[in-house]
Structure 1
């Protein structure tokens, strides 16, 4: 089986059966097609059964050195490849897993820096005193992040229909389209309500 055909089958599988997010599907497809292009550019066989660990290691080396790919991004690609080969073995497209034994490059992990309560209070005071055009929107956004703990991507895609003022909850659609309910702090309700109706 050709690598391109296997990639197409895998992408259809994670999109339809696994119901992965559009972002994840696009990322996996991009990573796999990039590997396919690398094999073609270096006159390597694109037959699935012909791919070896050496091909993968050369691809990783090429990405790190030639394209200055960061280890963190490379780790995502390796994760994509491992999911792909696992699927191929499951579907009996592959007998031997060419990703077995492939390790991820070391990264210089930095610990996240958290705001102290004092920092947060200072930020809120600054936002509350701001009278620029987008000040109220910014205040709501930062307070929602701080109070609910939702992800940035979840905040950006938030709609009014997800807010339930009477039950004081927010319905969040997270990774993999999973839903969860978060409490809506009572102090935010009048702020959100006034913003919704343009009273500020």
Structure 2
């Protein structure tokens, strides 16, 4: 089987059967298409059973060297390849796992830096008194992030249909197609507390 055909099958599988989010499916597809492009550009076979560990290692070297990608980004691509080969082995498209023994580059695990309550108060105060075109939008967005714990991607993809003004709630469509309901009244509470 050719790599491009196996990628198509895998993408359908994670989209339909695994019900992965659109962003996750897009990321997997991008990573695998990048690997396919690398093999094609370097004159390598794209027959699934002719791909070797050496080619995978050269792909990683290419990502880190020529494309100057960060180890965390490279690790995601390796993870995509490993999930893909696991699927291909299960479906018997592939005889040998060409990612077995491939290790991820070390990353600098930096701990997140959180805002203090004082910093949050200063931010909210600034946002409440700013008079720009998008000041109200910015204030609401930052308060939603701080008070509800919504992820940035969840906030960006939010629509008016998710806001229930009668019940004062916001439906948050999260990772793994999970849905959470957050009370929108937390914004009013936030204004009073902070």
> In the alignment, which residue of structure 1 is the partner of 2:19?
19
C-alpha displacement at 1:82, in angstroms?
0.9
Alignment of 1:3-82 (within 5 A): 3-82=3-82
- Listed as ranges, the gaps of 5+ residues in structure 2 are none
Cα separation, 1, equivalents of 2:95 and 2:172: 41
- Listed as ranges, the gaps of 5+ residues in structure 1 are 192-200
Cα separation, 1, equivalents of 2:12 and 2:158: 28
The count of aligned residue pairs is 190
C-alpha displacement at 1:62, in angstroms?
1.6
Alignment of 1:42-191 (within 5 A): 42-188=42-188
CA deviation vs aligned residue, 1:23-62 (integer Å, no higher than 9, x gap): 2222212211221222222222221111121111111012
Cα separation, 1, equivalents of 2:134 and 2:141: 11
Cα separation, 2, equivalents of 1:144 and 1:11: 33
C-alpha displacement at 1:21, in angstroms?
2.1
CA deviation vs aligned residue, 1:111-170 (integer Å, no higher than 9, x gap): 111100000011111111112222111111111111100011111222233223443422
C-alpha displacement at 1:10, in angstroms?
0.8
Helix, strand or coil at the partner of 1:171:
strand
Taking structure 1 as the reference length, the TM-score comes to 0.87
CA contact (8 A) 1:168 1:186 kept: no
CA deviation vs aligned residue, 1:57-91 (integer Å, no higher than 9, x gap): 11101221122121111111111101101110111
CA contact (8 A) 2:147 2:187 kept: no
Cα separation, 1, equivalents of 2:24 and 2:85: 17
> In the alignment, which residue of structure 2 is the partner of 1:195?
none
